[in-house]
Structure 1
Amino acid sequence: MNIAIIPARGGSKRIPRKNIKKFCGQPMLAYPIKAALESGVIDKVIVSTEDEEIAAVAREYGAEVPFYRSAALADDHTGTSPVVRDTLQRLLQLGWDIQHCACIYATTPLLSSVLIKQAYEQLCETSADYVFTSARFSFPIQRALLQTKTGGVTPFDPASIVKRSQDLPPAFHDAGQLYWGSCNTWLDQNKYIFSEKSQMLVLPPHLVQDIDTLEDWNHAELLYRMLQSQ
């Protein structure tokens, strides 16, 4: 089977309880659960959490919480991959037969079921270890500027600052949404998401928004409403 794992701990600091805070009328967590279940390529959605209230919301919207995440994996410093590996290992111990796994972040209301399916198909059609969503930087990062301690300005890359934008290669960033890989790939600690063996599904800017501050949240709601009105 194919599963989605949504990491959703309860200790968000910058936006308290953001994983279940109401976003355009529904708990934030409801959006990735619904998108995954409607994608047609995911059999079960598992929410990894240590929080009983988050678990209740997850179950209400169709996800499963077969066990709670340990406190050691629910602090501010634990990365996503250890959480996914731990969840997969525990599910395999329960006898689950898992072929592919999508890690989907909890705060992804702009991620659609169509994109989840598209990324999965890209994974299956290529030899990539991972396929993840990304976006292109709107301005060449090679021409970035740094501010000195005295308030002055210095080029981040002096060799590139004099070049024309069109002469510099485009750069991309992780969209912070979706990461597909086989179960075996996720369990292999020597395989990394951001490597030459991974591929990107590049999204347009209006489908990408980090949600770390209230300003981010408000902007994401504007984008979501715009998409719903089309």
Structure 2
Amino acid sequence: MRILALIPARAGSKRLPGKNIRLLGGKPLIVWSIEVTKAIPEICDVLVSTDSQEIAEIAKKFGGYVPWLRPNSLSTDTSSSIEMAIHALDWYEENRGKVDGILLLQPTSPFRSKTMIEKGIRLFMEKQTAVVSVSKTHTHPSWMFTIQNDTLVPFSDSSGTNQRSQDLEPMYVVNGSFYLTKPEDLKSTKSFFKPIVSPLLVENELEAIDIDTLIDFQFAEFLLSQNKNI
């Protein structure tokens, strides 16, 4: 089994400038995602797709594989992660051989564990389907609303507001930590969610942290200060 781990690390970030190399626990954010893949035998390389020379140098220093800088056409605010992933996959398979899976690890999920990644890979091998990490959502869709004409309108089933949230059927949200699929499925469907996806349930809330804003980053720093075993 050969799995290519892919870490996307575009330089431009509107909500948190420079987030991919901002120091968390004394090391750049992107390094957390590089280091966690070490000693996982199924992972053949950790390719970092970036348009930044600075990010590239940091990634290389900590063991990331950065054979090129991402083309400008794939580095805009509107560029899709799927196009970026297929670009990296095509180059890798042409130059370093075919792979059995492509694993997207977003650098904004620093606290994912090696154990969780290994569990996801085992699930991928067993089910032969795409695998995406999910967490139980704290806000149930039945307790969500839209606002129409200055009036609250239930997003889904209005009867849910008559029940305690703990009595509602559990619902899950994609947490952005782990996406793994077959190369041929990614290329044909242009999605990590097709044709069939198996859930990798992440019960440890630390592993589900996704850093997108300054508040997210500050929260991650606080959690790190309170959890010395991370």
TM-score by length of 2: 0.90
Question: Quick check: 1:132–1:199 contact (8 Å CA) kept in 2?
Answer: yes
User: In the alignment, what sits opposite 1:192?
Assistant: 191
Question: Quick check: 1:10–1:19 contact (8 Å CA) kept in 2?
Answer: yes
**What is the DSSP-based 3-state SS (H/G/I as helix, E as strand, rest coil) of the residue aligned with 2:176?**
strand
User: In the alignment, what sits opposite 1:118?
Assistant: 119
Question: Quick check: 2:113–2:207 contact (8 Å CA) kept in 1?
Answer: no
- Structure 1 unaligned residues grouped into runs of 5+: none
Equivalences for 1:1-230 in 2 at 5 Å?
1-128=2-129, 130-150=130-150, 152-157=151-156, 158-165=158-165, 168-188=168-188, 190=189, 192-195=191-194, 197-204=196-203, 205-229=205-229
Using the TM superposition, give the Cα deviation of residue 224 of structure 1 relative to its aligned residue in structure 2, in angstroms: 3.1
**What is the DSSP-based 3-state SS (H/G/I as helix, E as strand, rest coil) of the residue aligned with 1:101?**
strand
CA distance in 2, matches of 1:62, 1:116: 18
What code does the residue aligned with 1:84 have?
A: A
Using the TM superposition, give the Cα deviation of residue 27 of structure 1 relative to its aligned residue in structure 2, in angstroms: 0.4
Q: CA RMSD in A?
A: 2.0
- Using a 3 Å threshold, how does the CA distance of structure 1 residues 200 and 18 change in structure 2: closer, same or farther? same
What code does the residue aligned with 1:104 have?
A: L
**What is the DSSP-based 3-state SS (H/G/I as helix, E as strand, rest coil) of the residue aligned with 1:37?**
coil
Using the TM superposition, give the Cα deviation of residue 227 of structure 1 relative to its aligned residue in structure 2, in angstroms: 3.7
Using the TM superposition, give the Cα deviation of residue 187 of structure 1 relative to its aligned residue in structure 2, in angstroms: 2.0
Question: Quick check: 1:145–1:153 contact (8 Å CA) kept in 2?
Answer: yes
CA distance in 1, matches of 2:201, 2:75: 30
User: What is the number of residues matched between the two proteins?
Assistant: 227
Question: Quick check: 2:110–2:207 contact (8 Å CA) kept in 1?
Answer: no
Using the TM superposition, give the Cα deviation of residue 202 of structure 1 relative to its aligned residue in structure 2, in angstroms: 1.3
CA distance in 2, matches of 1:50, 1:196: 30
- Structure 2 unaligned residues grouped into runs of 5+: none
